[in-house]
Chain A
Amino acid sequence: MCTLEKRGNIYLLTLTGSGEHRFNPSLLSSLRATLSSLLSSSHAPNAALITCAEGKFFSNGFDQSWVRSAPPSQHRIISDLLRGLISDYLLLPMPTVCAITGHAAAAGCALVLAHDYVVMREDRGFFYMSELDVGLKFVKYFGVLFNEKIPDNQTRRDVLLRSARLTAREAMDRGIVDRVAQGIEGTIEEAVRLSEEVAVAVSDGSKLAEKRKLMFSETWRHVSAAAGSKL
C-alpha cells in the first residue's frame, strides 16, 4: 500500500503499485500508521517528508467500490480516516512536500493540499477536483481546507465550482503548486531539492506544527477531532 524510505534526512513516503491509489480503510490506515511512527519518533534537525506515488496516478480519490460494498453505517469511516490523515500531516514536526507524480483527483487533491509544498509533474497528469462532474458534494472539512489553501476566489471557483482540470503549469501559475518537473523521477528529485532548501530553516520541528495550526486554524479545527485517534 505504501512504503517509507530514507534518503539522508529526508523521508520518502510512496503510494505503491500501478493502480489508482484510491482511499479505502486499508490504504488510509497504512498511511496513518506510517505518519504515526514519524510523529512518535525523534528526527534529525533537517528532516522533511515527501509523499509520492508509483504509476500513472498520485491518487484518484475515495474508493467508491469499497463504499458500494460497505454497509451505510460504515461510509463515514473513509472520510474520517482522511480527516485524521490530514491532521497527522499538519502535526508533523518537519516540512512536508507533495510530489504529484501522476493524476490527482478529488480526495487525492485534498491530500496534496495537506502538504506545506507541492511539486507537480509537468509532462503528464492533472490536478482535478472531479466531484462536480461526477455529482458528489463535499463534507465540510474539504471546503475549509480548500478555502485556506487556495484563497484566490477565481482559482478556487475554477477548481471546485467548474471542475477544471489543471495542468502542472496552470496549477503553478495559479498558486497551487510551487514547482514543476519532468517525469516521475524528475518530480521526486525536485521535491528532494525543495525539501533540502526548506528543511535547513527548521531547527525545531515541533514549532512547525504549532504554526500550521495557527495558519490553517479553521482546517485544524475541522480535522483535529480525529487527531491521535485510531480507526
Chain B
Amino acid sequence: MCTLEKRGRVLILTLTGSGEHRLGPDLISSLRSALATARSDPSAAALVTAGEGRFFSNGLDLAWAKNSSEGLSTLVRLVKPLIADLISLPMPTVAAVTGHAAAAGMMIAVAHDYVYMRGDRGVLYMSELDIGLPFPDYFMDLMQAKITDPRTLRDVTLRAKKITGTEAKERGIVDKVCQSASEVVAEAVKMAEELAGRNWDKGVYASIRMSVYPKLCKSLEIPEESDEAVTKHFASRL
C-alpha cells in the first residue's frame, strides 16, 4: 500500500504498486499510520510523498464504495483526517507528483507545502464534475487555500480541466516541473533536504502553517492556538 523510507533527515512516503493508488479504508489507514510515524520521529525534518507507476493517486476507491454498505460518504469522511494530518505535520512537505493525480488524489498532492510534478506525463484533474459527484466542503477549502488564481480555480473546479505539470507550474499550482518520475522524486528530495537544512523548530513550522491557512485548518478541525499561548511561547524563546 505504502512505504516510509528515511534518507538522512528526509522521510519518503511512497504509494506502492503499479495500480491507481485509489484511496480506500486500507490505504488511508496505512498513510495515516506512516504520517503518525513521521510526526513522532524527532530526527525527521521533511517529508516527500511520491507514487510508483503511472498514477500518483486516481482518487477515492469508488469500486469499494459501490460494494460497501457504507458507501462514498465513508471514504469522504476518512480522507478528511488524512488531509488534516498533512496540513498539521510539523515539518515541510513536498509532493513529488509522479503520475496522474485526480480528485482526492489531487487533494493529497496540493495538501503538501510544495508541489513538484513531472511535465512529460500525467495530469492534475478534479474529475468530480465529469462523473457527477459533489465536492466535500474541505476539498473546496483546500483548493481555495492552495489555488489562489481565480481563473485557474475556475478551470479546475467548474471546467474539470486536465492540467499538465507545465501548465500547473505556469498557473501557480506546481512549484517545479521535471522531465521524468525519477527526476521529480530526486528534485523533491533535494528540496526537502534544503528545507530540512534550515533547522526550523518543528512546532513553530506547524504553527506558522496554520497562520498561513487558518480557514482550511478550521475546516479540517485542526485545533487552533490561542494568542495567549503564542505570547507565552514568544517570551520563552528569548
Contacts and interface: CB of A to CB of B under 8 A. Distances in A.
Main secondary structure of the interface of A (DSSP, over half): helix
Contact of A135 (B148, B175, B201): B201
B129 to A, nearest CB: 22
A157 B205 CA distance: 11
Interface in B182-211: 195, 198, 200-201, 204-205, 207-211
Given A143-B212, A153-B145, A156-B212, A135 B200 contact: yes
B113 A138 contact: no
A131 B234 CA distance: 10
Contact of A132 (B172, B205, B232, B237): B205
A131 B208 contact: yes
A228 interface: no
Nearest to B209: A161
Contacts of B210: 143
A73 B24 CA distance: 50
Interface string A154-191: 10110011110000000000000000000000000000
B230 interface: yes
Main secondary structure of the interface of B (DSSP, over half): helix
Interface stretch (A33-41, A64-72, A90-98, A114-122): A64-72
Interface string A112-138: 000000000000000000011111111
B208 A160 contact: yes
Size class of A's contact patch? 20 to 34
Contact of B235 (A67, A132, A163): A67
A151 B211 contact: no
B237 A135 contact: yes
Interface in A72-120: 72, 75-76, 79
Contacts of A140: 211, 214, 227
A216 interface: no
Given A68-B238, A132-B205, A153-B145, A139 B214 contact: no
The 7 A-B pairs at the shortest CB distance, nearest first, are namely A143-B211, A138-B211, A137-B207, A135-B201, A153-B148, A139-B227, A137-B230
Interface of A: 64, 67-68, 72, 75-76, 79, 131-140, 142-144, 146-147, 151-154, 156-157, 160-163
15 contacts: A67-B234, A131-B204, A132-B198, A132-B200, A133-B198, A135-B200, A135-B237, A137-B204, A138-B207, A138-B208, A143-B210, A143-B214, A153-B148, A160-B211, A161-B113
